[in-house]
Homo-oligomer: A and B are copies of this chain.
Amino acid sequence: MDTTGVIVEYNPFHNGHLHQINQIRAQYPDTTIVAIMSGQFLQRGIPAALDKESRTRQALQSGVDLMIELPVAFSVQPADLFAKGAIKLLSGMKITRLVFGAEHPKLDFKSIAVKIQNIDGDFDQFNETYASQYQQAVFDNTGIHIDEPNDLLGLAYAEACLSEKAEIQLCPIQRIGAGYHETIFDDSQEIASATAIRLAIKNQESIENVVPSQTKIDSENEKWIDWYDFWPYLKYQLSLLTPEQLSTFYGMSEGIEYRLLQQYEKLPEDASFDDWVHAVKSKRVTYTKISRLATYILLKINKNEIDKQYKQPYYHVLGFSKRGQSLLNYLKKEVPYPILTKISKKDKEGLYSLDYRAGIIYGLVSHKKSDLFRHPVQIN
């Protein structure tokens, strides 16, 4: 069975994503497209603007066949662990190929990955971020500068394929239209970055030209969510936790828990999430790293929980088309990890507990139902 994987966030699903799906469909007319998508909390430590069910519907209507949730233990992570989680799932499905956008799709990501296998990642420059030291090490080992976000993610996929012994063909394709960090777009554009689209929604500007209709409908009818909405809950946590308690949370190291609390205490009463992150930020600790730590605090994720999750992956099915359903039936006998199509009470307290909790907390703001007994989205 020919299957094509994509690793996505769809925050929200826009014309750039549609373009990618159309390219895949044009090149492999009979392939089944499987998307592994972050659920309610995303790679850069932010809540999804729309809930995973809405984003699944947007994607299925645009040609994705099967949508699998990337568990929160993998989704709110730096590129290497994010990639490792997603590749582990795709590899278990014996996916034919992985298609991903890259700034430089001609790079041979797999052979670069082989050349940098010796990088141990224990960088000791305490006034530099992990990312910049990693990029320097890649250059030192290969003579190639890789410093754009999608190229770096592509390299992370290649490294994950190596470490997971995943036999997946990597198919980088040229990213078009909008840079990842671009925050504006004009009437002439049909493609804008997700960041720019989220900003436009916030500013009540039209996104009609740059998203498929379902995304537009959802953006009008659903609550549009960001850290602003979760800040009260995070403040509640930051107000009550001691550094000792905070140190048991996932991701806390080098005494960062003290800095998180100290900077919080110094803020004025009406400070925002951004104010807090900016106060904590340093040369060594990036905005994104702090946002991820904030997510772990919000979701009360402790160290053991993530380790446990890496040892017990599963496929939580968010939605499928007819073609996706056939693949799903086939996979049921083939995959090494459990497939969850509907979350049971047992799943909720066991295997799926961490994602269930993330859904419950997201639901405090979205007012959507929890994952318990929720049906996957189905389209014909």
Contact = CB atoms under 8 A, between A and B. Distances in A.
Interface of A: 232-233, 235-236, 239-240, 269-270, 300, 357, 360-361, 363-364, 367-369
A269 B236 contact: no
A369 B367 CA distance: 31
Contact of A239 (B235, B236, B361): B361
9 contacts: A232-B232, A232-B364, A233-B236, A236-B236, A239-B361, A239-B364, A240-B360, A269-B367, A269-B369
A364 B300 contact: no
A360 to B, nearest CB: 5
A3 to B, nearest CB: 36
Contacts of A361: 236, 239-240
> Mostly helix, strand, loop or mixed at chain A's interface?
helix
Contacts of A232: 232-233, 364
A360 B239 contact: yes
Nearest to A361: B239
A233 B230 CA distance: 11
A300 B240 contact: yes
Contacts of A369: 269
Contacts of A357: 239-240
Stoichiometry, copies per complex = 2
A59 to B, nearest CB: 24
Contacts of A239: 357, 360-361, 364
Contact of A363 (B240, B269, B363, B364): B269
A240 B356 CA distance: 10
A364 B240 contact: no
A235 B367 CA distance: 12
Most buried by B among A269, A270, A369: A269
A269 B367 CA distance: 5
A205 to B, nearest CB: 29
A132 B309 CA distance: 51
A363 B235 CA distance: 11
A72 to B, nearest CB: 14
A205 B235 CA distance: 33
A258 to B, nearest CB: 14
A364 B270 contact: no
A368 B269 contact: yes
Nearest to A360: B239
Nearest to A357: B240
Nearest to A367: B269
A343 to B, nearest CB: 14
Contacts of A235: 364
A307 to B, nearest CB: 20
Most buried by B among A235, A239, A367: A239
A361 B364 CA distance: 18
Closest CB pairs A-B (n = 7): A269-B367, A239-B360, A233-B236, A235-B364, A270-B367, A240-B300, A236-B364
